[in-house]
Structure 1
Amino acid sequence: MLGAGGCATPGKRTATGAAAGGIVGAGAGAVAGGWKGAAVGAAAGAAVGAGVGNYLDKRAQELDKVAETRKTDRGLLVNLDSELLFETNSAVLTDQAVSQLTQLGDILSKYPDDRITIEGHTDSRGTEPYNEALSLRRAEAVQRVLRGRGVDDRQMMVLGQGETQPVAPNDTPDGRSANRRVELHIDVPQATRRG
């Protein structure tokens, strides 16, 4: 059931979160107080799960208006296409990228409890050390724009993954293009997890 949540439409993610929370809560409640504890635990777990799912639904809808956004086991993933962000072999943002990131920054700055990991990725052309450094510079360029829109540095962690996490084969132009990207991984705040 949890696997279906990643591709689910808004609303289904909330239901999936509630169901998963109910299962976990029931298990915890059974350990604490038998069948009665299981019922109480299931209700509490479902409420927390629904809260997380609802939070993710709302945030995904808001972010998806600006950039491709989907739910993952880490929270939300915002995928930024490097073809639109940077010129080839460059970490200088295009005007179009600055405009997109400005909009994202305005949304993200409203949620100071979010934890955002900015990951830069490259294709496999070039040496591993060069690709790692380029991916880090690209992620840092994204971070600077978000910071300029009010996203706190304490919310953001920047990583240069280089060519180590391809999402497509590197032996075609389309595959290499897909691998050149910057991803924002947005974690659900702990307060939301607790309901």
Structure 2
Amino acid sequence: MRLRRSGAALAALTLLGLGAGSAAAGTTGDDVELGVATVEAQEVPVHAFFAYNARQDDTKAEVRGVVHGVRRVEGGTALYYSIGSPGPDSVRGAGMFLQAKDHDDIPYAWDVKLVDATNLRAYRPLRTSEGLATSVSSDLTSEGDLHVAFAVFPELPDDVTEVQVVLANGTSAGAVPVEDGALEPVADEPAPRPGQGWPALPDPELLATADPEERTFVLTRRSSDLAGDVQVEESPEQVGIVLDASVLFAFDSAELAPEAQSRLAEVAADIAARGTGEVVVTGYTDSDGDRSYNQTLSEQRAQSVVAALQPAAGGAVTFSAVGEGESDPVASNDTDEGKQANRRVTIVYSVEGDR
């Protein structure tokens, strides 16, 4: 994989001791191949680059760095990364990132996260009986240098092959592969420079004092199509889909339009692949017209959607069709836009296993 020589990449390579003409594995022209760089005769993995300004303020020091790896180790998952700043604020902008001091306006090492976007889980560094399992150093005084840091997170499931690395201020370093084993050799210093070894990780017995569940968080994914006609909210346990009634039915009709079939076929395929339990389909209308008529129309529309989904969804789930009529509006019925939002069909189902 190649990365265009962005400012972050060039700056991080320079801080690694690799200028524009130096040898990172596969460097050609204006591209940097992510892989292995040789720094002071030591092979240094390079998986991603990142850059951000301290305190999210463009006038503050720019912090730059390199992600070296996410590794399965005994008792947890270790993230190795280098961090530094080229200017006179390097100690405050980057060095203090690794210091265990109480400054509310400085993002510290505890702010790093691993995100499993496939299984919708996020992980923060483990909290052991002696504190967070992250780098702590007050010796970062070499202006312009990168220093290697670590953070140890809960053990990842066996099927997780890559994660997103998120640093301070929400800065993402992209997807990084999950590999096995701690990096070696281990340095004597707590925050060595790249090429001088890797920081020592906490003892597995200390990591065992942490509660991994406390540092694991469930995520919710929200998405929609470009027109906003289909909205999806997904957690590891449940999927909820909201379809604008206009993409399914003609006005005042409960007969599915031809173009609705492809939309519902995608939903049915997902239900067949991982759905479990009951699939609840609910129809809603706006408040125009007679309340009793709206109730009947919403029930008929829900039944039409069930009839389309059920044959393709397989026999592992059951279906129910519910009509709510004009009750439970999501917007005001005083505007055309609000009425359109209220005319909808929702499909809610549980999912079994991580995607």
Q: TM-score if structure 2 supplies the norm length?
A: 0.37
2:296 corresponding residue in structure 1? 133
1:112–1:155 Cα contact (<8 Å) kept: no
Q: Which structure has the larger Rg over C-alpha atoms?
A: 2
1:14 corresponding residue in structure 2? 121
From the superposition, tell whether residues 94 and 11 of structure 1 become closer, same or farther in structure 2 (CA, over 3 Å). same
From the superposition, tell whether residues 153 and 127 of structure 1 become closer, same or farther in structure 2 (CA, over 3 Å). farther
Hey, what's the Cα distance between the residues in 1 that align with 2:323 and 2:278?
Answer: 17
1:123–1:166 Cα contact (<8 Å) kept: yes
1:5 corresponding residue in structure 2? none
Shift of 1:152: 3.4
Letter in structure 1 aligned against 2:252: N
Shift of 1:96: 0.8
Which of residues 85, 96, 99 in structure 1 aligns to 2:262? 99
1:4 corresponding residue in structure 2? none
Shift of 1:71: 3.7
More helix by share: 1
SS at match of 1:95: coil
Letter in structure 2 aligned against 1:86: F
Which of residues 298, 320, 327 in structure 2 aligns to 1:157? 320
In the TM superposition, what whole-angstrom CA distance separates every residue of 1:58-116 from its partner, at most 9, and x where no partner exists?
xx78x9799421147x8322111111110111100101111211121122111242532
Q: Where does the alignment leave 5 or more consecutive residues of structure 1 unmatched? A: 1-8, 20-38
SS at match of 1:143: helix
In the TM superposition, what whole-angstrom CA distance separates every residue of 1:159-187 from its partner, at most 9, and x where no partner exists?
10111111111111111111000011223
From the superposition, tell whether residues 112 and 79 of structure 1 become closer, same or farther in structure 2 (CA, over 3 Å). closer
Hey, what's the Cα distance between the residues in 2 that align with 1:85 and 1:183?
Answer: 12
Hey, what's the Cα distance between the residues in 2 that align with 1:150 and 1:84?
Answer: 20
Hey, what's the Cα distance between the residues in 2 that align with 1:152 and 1:131?
Answer: 31
Hey, what's the Cα distance between the residues in 2 that align with 1:114 and 1:101?
Answer: 19
5 Å matches for 1:31-50?
42-43=211-212, 45=213
2:286 corresponding residue in structure 1? 123
Q: Which runs of 4+ in 1 moved over 3 A?
A: 9-13, 63-67, 151-154
Letter in structure 1 aligned against 2:233: R
Hey, what's the Cα distance between the residues in 1 that align with 2:246 and 2:225?
Answer: 18
More strand by share: 2
**Matched positions, count:** 157
Q: Where does the alignment leave 5 or more consecutive residues of structure 2 unmatched? A: 1-115, 125-208
1:101–1:145 Cα contact (<8 Å) kept: yes
Hey, what's the Cα distance between the residues in 1 that align with 2:318 and 2:249?
Answer: 24
SS at match of 1:155: strand
SS at match of 2:307: helix
Hey, what's the Cα distance between the residues in 2 that align with 1:177 and 1:67?
Answer: 13
2:286–2:326 Cα contact (<8 Å) kept: yes
Letter in structure 2 aligned against 1:122: T
The percentage of counterpart residues that share the same residue type is 27
Letter in structure 1 aligned against 2:293: Y
From the superposition, tell whether residues 102 and 177 of structure 1 become closer, same or farther in structure 2 (CA, over 3 Å). same
